Amino acid sequence: MEYADILSINVGKPEEIQFQNKAVSTGIYKKPASGPIFLSSTNFTGDGQGDLIHHGGAEKAVCVYPYEHYLFWEKELQRKLEYGAFGENLTIKGLLEDDVHIGDIFQLGAAVVQVSQPRQPCYKLTVRYGMPDMILKVQDTGFTGFYFRVLKEGFVCKEHGLKRISRHPKGITISYANRIKHHEKNDIEGIKKLLEVEELSANWRASCLKRLNGFEPDDRERLTGGLKQGS
């Protein structure tokens, strides 16, 4: 698929909420926006992240999530989901993780963007939906979505859609990267294949290098934010 529909562009500023008796800042509560929105090198106008260590920045400027996964999550969560339900900036239709490659380049309105890495779930999804094992479910299903870095800034509206300009020659899909990261952790050749993609984000590259050198990165802190779920 070389073209995907944009069902919604979602933005939102960080909010402070209570989770397990602690104040948590999160930008996961995004709402659909109307009209052309300017996309800068770091985010859409009107958007923000509560945790700038693990979210946002140049290599994670735009979070994308396929609408095709919504039906699964509606059954799991027993509720109707609105666009932006996963804190994504773009809710799209027609392009899934098994047909998106790290390094692929897309035309997004007047902007040009490039796939940098899969989206990694964090405990903010548990904060929003109260499902303690939701992070693991996202990893197990591979329904993660992905991130764009911005190669060219510009205005975007949903009617523009998302058009692939080029596929990366290495052909490393988001699904493949998720599998190596979360399931086939001892696949050394798979890790090396990921590292061959120069466009892979710095965070994922560092994680792969640690694993290649025999050090298994502990994602628990990132996933839980230091908060013990279920307490």
Q: pLDDT tens-digit profile of 21-32?
A: 787 778 889 999
Q: Is 77 helix (H, G, I), strand (E, B) or coil?
A: helix
Taking 70 as the threshold, does the pLDDT of residue 16 lie above it? yes
Alpha-carbon dihedral sign for residues 147, 152, 153, 158: negative
Task: Name the residue type at position 54.
Answer: H
Mean pLDDT of 132-137: 91
Q: pLDDT tens-digit profile of 93-103?
A: 999 999 999 99
Q: pLDDT tens-digit profile of 43-61?
A: 999 997 655 555 567 999 9
Mean pLDDT of the chain: 89
Task: Name the residue type at position 3.
Answer: Y
Cα 33 to Cα 126: distance, rounded to the nearest angstrom: 24
Tokens of 142: 């591979």
pLDDT band at 1 (very low <50, low <70, confident <90, very high): low
Domain 1-222 architecture: Beta Barrel (2.40)
pTM (two decimals): 0.90
Task: With residue 15 as reference, give the H or E element that holds it.
Answer: strand 15-19
pLDDT at 216: 64
Cα 222 to Cα 121: distance, rounded to the nearest angstrom: 9
Q: pLDDT tens-digit profile of 79-95?
A: 999 999 999 999 999 99
Do 49 and 106 touch, CB atoms closer than 8 A?
no
- 162 phi and psi angles, rounded to 5 deg: -125, 115
Q: 61-84 b/e with 16+ CB inside 10 Å = b? A: bbbbbbbebbeebeeeeeeebebb
Taking 60 as the threshold, does the pLDDT of residue 227 lie above it? no
pLDDT band at 194 (very low <50, low <70, confident <90, very high): very high
- For the chain, give me the number of helices (H) and strands (E)? 7, 12
The region of weakest confidence among 20-34, 135-149, 168-182, 211-225 is 211-225
Q: Where are the domains of the chain?
A: 1-222
Place of tokens 């939102």: 12
pLDDT at 137: 93
Give the DSSP letter string of 122-189: -THHHHHH--TTHHHHHHHHT---EEEEEEE-EEE-GGG-EEEEE--TT--BHHHHHHHHHT-TT-HH
Q: How many CB atoms lie within 10 A of CB 140?
A: 12
